[in-house]
Structure 1
Amino acid sequence: MKQYSSKRSIQILAHLLKEYGIFDIVISPGSRNAPLAIHFSETDAFNCYSIVDERSAAFVGMGMAKSTKKPVAITCTSGSASANYYPAITEAFYQNTPLLILTADRPTDYVDIFDGQTIRQKDLYQQHSYGDFQLLEDEKENSDEENFNLIKKAIELCIEKQGPVHINIPLTEPLYQLVSEQPAFPPVEKTLRKKKEEIPSHLIAEWNTAKRIMILVGTRDYTEKLEMQLSQIVKNHSAVILKEANSNLKHDKFFAHIDRYIFNFSESDMQLYAPDLLITIGQNVVSKKIKQFLRKAKPKNHWHIDEVWHPDTFFSLTAKIESTAEHFFGKLLNHIRLEPQPYYNLWDVLRDKKDLKHDEYCLKTQFSDFKLFEILAEKIPNNINLHISNSSAIRYAQLFDFQKNKVYCNRGTSGIDGCTSTAMGFAMKSVEQTVLVTGDLSFFYDINGLWNNYIPPYTRIIVFNNGGGDIFKIIPGPDSTNALEEFILTKHHRSAEHAAKDFGFQYTKVEDEVTLDRVLDNFFKHDTRPKILEITTQDIENAEVLKGYFDFMK
């Protein structure tokens, strides 16, 4: 016989989650949130997942939301458990990924009296959430009506903003009183708001008078519609479109390797290639060089297109366009002239020159992290979900062609802390194969991302282990200090082999290019267990190989 929580606030919460189609719940263990765990797991509508580590659990929830493109609820007990959610919440906030955060709490009058597992949870995430709500205890007057309205508002805000929203739920004891039937609730009148999206006429004039139009696409999910719209713009060389690995766009006339082209720009180059109209789409841009270039370029006009965020990344923002890119370009294309511009040819000549040099360098490069990404770009199967960890991994990926796949990377705050957990959460909700390519520090830091009973057997993890945070040998500054190896690079001799065994993954280790070529094809084939491939490059001067690349590209 089914048993449900007797807590009215939890019954109302479950009813509203079902009404708005939020069915995936990530639950971390605890007593204070036991009413939520009991109620959700006993209700047939919900898909419940038990993830022990709250920091990992929140990233898993974020990965699931990115995979399904629907909100996911995460719930934990009170105290430090809720604080452990924070890294993923900041990432979801800057990526606009819908997380509904359900933190169980002690009664309000227990705060700051040194009761166990009790902290100031109300408004805990207010700097990085789109809404913070605190429910009333069931015993309070009008609690049913108040809680119904608060939860409804929170869910709708999470959907509208496509970002994290927090509901703190104080619960009095007893926590384990159960009922065998759920009460009936009235139907929900949904009040989700739709935005009015119109194009100001002066933007059409700005486009039609501009001679040097650049469209820069940052982090975003793939949509066929936007790809077709931008393809129409470049068909006649009307604009230069720069994209990154995780922009998820493909077209031969898009410029896909920004750093390859602009890394060694001189002051005169920056003036020569600068746009007069800059249009930016999507979230965070990986390339630091394009930020430096465009900040110096100071384009006359800069439009940013997004439903929520309008950051002045390049200190030149002139138009905040609150719209999806697909809707905006769908309307814009009806009003603008698509005329060939010499600006495109200028960039195209640069691309041809740099691509030839890139190919020449690759031919003479020995086995290294750089060569590894060249090989992976050729060998990774088409049309998989490719997750790439932060730091050097995503930077290497920018230099090669991964556009045959959907590429994801946590570029909201650009941390290494939840890359594995996010990828595993994504894999849990995808019927397509998910492959994570990660550096060793990202992998070991987020090792609890593997403490997960729901990882599909076709999931694959590739760890390139160079013995530390090799990025700090690449960027200028750290190598000038005596603290580099122990405190910044964090040199180590760890292997992924024991982690693979502990968490039930098949494991393979390679140390040279010949072995890598031999094992890769079989590695991606479906099997009964997920797999980890560890590629060791600890004895190779990877930083020198990459520095040599950019010196060669001058």
Structure 2
Amino acid sequence: MKQYSAKRSIQLLAYLLKEYGISNVVISPGSRNAPLAIHFSETDGLNCYSIVDERSAGFVGLGMAKSEKKPVALTCTSGSAAANYYPAVTEAFYSNIPLLLLTADRPSDYVDIFDGQTIRQQGIFQQHSYGDFQLVEDSKTNAEEENFSIIKKAIERCIEKQGPVHINIPLEEPLYEMMAELPVFPPVEKTLQKKTYTLPPRLAANWHLSKRVLILVGTRDYSEELQMQLAQLVKNHSAVVLTEVNSNLHHEKFFPYIDRYIFNFTEEDYRTYAPDLLITIGQNVVSKKVKQFLRKAAPKNHWHIDEAWHPDTFFVLNEKIESRPEAFFSQLLKHITPEPQAYYNLWDVLRDKKDLKHQEYCLKTSFSDFKFFEILSDKIPENVQLHFSNSSAIRYAQLFEYKKNHIHCNRGTSGIDGSTSTAMGFAMRQQQQTVLVTGDVSFFYDINGLWNPYIPPYTRIIIFNNAGGEIFKFIPGPDTTNALEEFILTRHHHNAEYLAKHFGFSYSKADDEDTLIRILDNFFKPDAKPKILEVDTTAVENAAVLKAYFQFLKD
């Protein structure tokens, strides 16, 4: 027999989640949110997952939302549990990932009287959410009508804004009253707003006046439609399209290795390669060098195309185009006549030179983090969901091609804190193989990402272990201090062998090139368990190898 919560506010929540197609719920254990856990787990059509650590749970939910491209609900108990969601909330906010945060709370008059597990939860995510709502206690007059309206508004905000929305839920005791039958709730009149876009004539005119058009694509999901639209603009060399590995767009006439091409740009190069029209698509750009280049270049016009964010990243933004890029380019292509420009040829000559130097360096370099990423790009199968952790991992990934794979990385805030949990959450809602490539510090930081009984056996994790935050030996500054080894790079001697065993993963290790190639030949094949491969490069001066690479590109 079913056991539903007798709390009307919780019954309304479950009903409205289903009405709006929100089917995945991540539950962290506790007593104050027990009515939600009990009710949701008994509700047909809701897929409930138990993740103990709220910080990890937040990123697991984020990964699930990225995987299915629809909102995920998370619920936790009161007090510091809610605060542990915050890292994932900030990432979701800046990446436009829809999370519905359902935090259980003590009744509102229990705040600040030293009652257990009680903090100021109302509005806790206010700086990084698209809505902060508080339900009315069931015992209050007109609570059902008010809560119906509040929940409906919160869910629609989450869907429309594609970002985090918070509902704080004060719950009075008793918490464990049950009922076997649910009431019938009224039908929902959905009021979701549909966005349309009309191209202003001046933009087509500005395009025709621009002889040096540069389109920069940042972090975004794969879009076949957008890829085809941009391909039309480059086929006769009318524009230059710069992409990053997590732009998820591919064409032989796009320029996908930005740092490879512009790493040693001089002040003269900034002027030589400067666009007069810059069009940016997507969100955070990994390359610091391209930001430096475009800030120095100061193009006359900068258009940013996005439904949510219009950041003035390069300090020259003059057109905020609130549209899906596909809708914008669909209209633009109807109103312009793409014409060949010398600007494309300028970049093409640079590409040929740098790509040749890259190939030469790959032939001469030995086992290292750099060589690992080169080998991985050759060995990884097509059509996997490939996640890179932040810091060194995504930056190495920028230098190589990863075939027809979907690339993911938490670039909203660019933190290392939830990379594993995000990838595991993503894998939980995927039929395709999910592969996480992570640095050692990021992996050990997020160990609880593996405290998860739902990880599919076709999940793969590759850790490149260089015994610390090796990136701090590459970027300028940290190596001039006495604090580098202990407090910045954080040198360690850990490996993942016993962690893999503890969490039910099979484990293998490679500390030379031949072993790495041999293991990778079978690593992605089906198995009864998920797998961890640890690539040990602790004996290598990896920063020196990477510095030598960029010096080789210069020479």
Q: TM-score, normalised by structure 2?
A: 0.99
Q: Counterparts of 1:71 and 1:474 in 2: how far apart (Å)?
A: 38
Q: CA deviation at 1:401?
A: 0.5
Q: CA deviation at 1:337?
A: 1.6
Q: CA deviation at 1:388?
A: 0.2
Q: Counterparts of 1:551 and 1:510 in 2: how far apart (Å)?
A: 28
Q: Tell me, yes or no, if structure 1 residue 91 matches structure 2 residue 94.
A: no
Q: CA deviation at 1:99?
A: 0.3
Cα displacement string for residues 13-41 of structure 1 (whole angstroms, at most 9, x for unaligned residues)? 11100100001000000000000000000
8 A Cα contact 1:59 1:88, kept in partner: yes
8 A Cα contact 2:219 2:246, kept in partner: yes
Q: CA deviation at 1:392?
A: 0.4
Secondary structure in 2 matching 1:553: helix
Cα displacement string for residues 92-130 of structure 1 (whole angstroms, at most 9, x for unaligned residues)? 000000000000000000000000000000000000000
In structure 1, the residue matched to 2:152 is 152
Letter in 2 for 1:147: N
Letter in 1 for 2:198: E
Superposition map of 1:35-46 within 5 A = 35-46=35-46
Q: Counterparts of 2:403 and 2:129 in 1: how far apart (Å)?
A: 32
Cα displacement string for residues 178-221 of structure 1 (whole angstroms, at most 9, x for unaligned residues)? 00011100110000011231111111111011000000000000
Sequence identity percentage: 76
Q: CA deviation at 1:470?
A: 0.3
In structure 2, the residue matched to 1:333 is 333
8 A Cα contact 2:28 2:75, kept in partner: yes
Superposition map of 1:17-96 within 5 A = 17-96=17-96
Q: Tell me, yes or no, if structure 1 residue 265 matches structure 2 residue 265.
A: yes
Q: Counterparts of 1:3 and 1:23 in 2: how far apart (Å)?
A: 19
Letter in 1 for 2:49: Y
Gaps of 5+ in 1: none
In structure 1, the residue matched to 2:113 is 113
In structure 1, the residue matched to 2:129 is 129
Letter in 2 for 1:224: E
Q: Counterparts of 1:260 and 1:202 in 2: how far apart (Å)?
A: 35
8 A Cα contact 1:245 1:403, kept in partner: no
In structure 2, the residue matched to 1:196 is 196
Q: Counterparts of 2:476 and 2:447 in 1: how far apart (Å)?
A: 29
**What is the number of equivalent residue pairs in this alignment?**
554
Q: Counterparts of 2:513 and 2:193 in 1: how far apart (Å)?
A: 55
Q: Counterparts of 1:172 and 1:403 in 2: how far apart (Å)?
A: 55
Q: CA deviation at 1:223?
A: 1.1
Q: Counterparts of 1:153 and 1:140 in 2: how far apart (Å)?
A: 20
Letter in 2 for 1:275: P
In structure 1, the residue matched to 2:304 is 304
Q: Counterparts of 2:337 and 2:80 in 1: how far apart (Å)?
A: 57
Q: Counterparts of 1:439 and 1:553 in 2: how far apart (Å)?
A: 25
In structure 1, the residue matched to 2:176 is 176
8 A Cα contact 1:277 1:302, kept in partner: yes
Q: CA deviation at 1:175?
A: 0.2
Q: Tell me, yes or no, if structure 1 residue 324 matches structure 2 residue 324.
A: yes
Cα displacement string for residues 327-382 of structure 1 (whole angstroms, at most 9, x for unaligned residues)? 11011100012000000000000000000000001100010000000000000110
In structure 2, the residue matched to 1:166 is 166
Q: Tell me, yes or no, if structure 1 residue 219 matches structure 2 residue 227.
A: no
Secondary structure in 2 matching 1:334: helix
Q: Counterparts of 1:217 and 1:118 in 2: how far apart (Å)?
A: 44
Q: Counterparts of 2:551 and 2:206 in 1: how far apart (Å)?
A: 38
Q: Counterparts of 2:507 and 2:12 in 1: how far apart (Å)?
A: 46
Q: Which is worse superposed, 276-285 or 398-407?
A: 398-407
Letter in 2 for 1:358: H
8 A Cα contact 1:204 1:336, kept in partner: yes
Q: Counterparts of 1:14 and 1:397 in 2: how far apart (Å)?
A: 41
Letter in 2 for 1:394: I
Q: Tell me, yes or no, if structure 1 residue 379 matches structure 2 residue 379.
A: yes
Cα displacement string for residues 275-333 of structure 1 (whole angstroms, at most 9, x for unaligned residues)? 00000000100000000000010000000000010000000001000000011101110
Q: Counterparts of 1:38 and 1:134 in 2: how far apart (Å)?
A: 21
Letter in 1 for 2:215: I
Secondary structure in 1 matching 2:334: coil
Q: Counterparts of 2:133 and 2:393 in 1: how far apart (Å)?
A: 38
Q: Counterparts of 1:362 and 1:440 in 2: how far apart (Å)?
A: 24
Q: Tell me, yes or no, if structure 1 residue 186 matches structure 2 residue 186.
A: yes
8 A Cα contact 2:382 2:403, kept in partner: no
Superposition map of 1:342-381 within 5 A = 342-381=342-381
In structure 2, the residue matched to 1:294 is 294
Gaps of 5+ in 2: none
Q: Which is worse superposed, 195-204 or 112-121?
A: 195-204
Q: CA deviation at 1:403?
A: 4.2
Cα displacement string for residues 28-60 of structure 1 (whole angstroms, at most 9, x for unaligned residues)? 000000000000000111000000000000100
Q: Counterparts of 1:471 and 1:320 in 2: how far apart (Å)?
A: 35
Secondary structure in 2 matching 1:333: helix
Q: Counterparts of 1:211 and 1:34 in 2: how far apart (Å)?
A: 62
8 A Cα contact 1:249 1:403, kept in partner: no
8 A Cα contact 1:54 1:85, kept in partner: yes
Letter in 1 for 2:41: S
Secondary structure in 2 matching 1:508: strand
Q: CA deviation at 1:4?
A: 0.2
Secondary structure in 2 matching 1:119: coil
Letter in 2 for 1:309: W
Q: Which is worse superposed, 397-406 or 33-42?
A: 397-406
Superposition map of 1:513-532 within 5 A = 513-532=513-532
In structure 2, the residue matched to 1:435 is 435
Q: Counterparts of 2:445 and 2:454 in 1: how far apart (Å)?
A: 20
Q: Counterparts of 1:415 and 1:368 in 2: how far apart (Å)?
A: 24
Secondary structure in 2 matching 1:363: helix
Letter in 1 for 2:206: E
Cα displacement string for residues 396-415 of structure 1 (whole angstroms, at most 9, x for unaligned residues)? 00000014200000000000
Cα displacement string for residues 227-256 of structure 1 (whole angstroms, at most 9, x for unaligned residues)? 110111111111000000000001000000
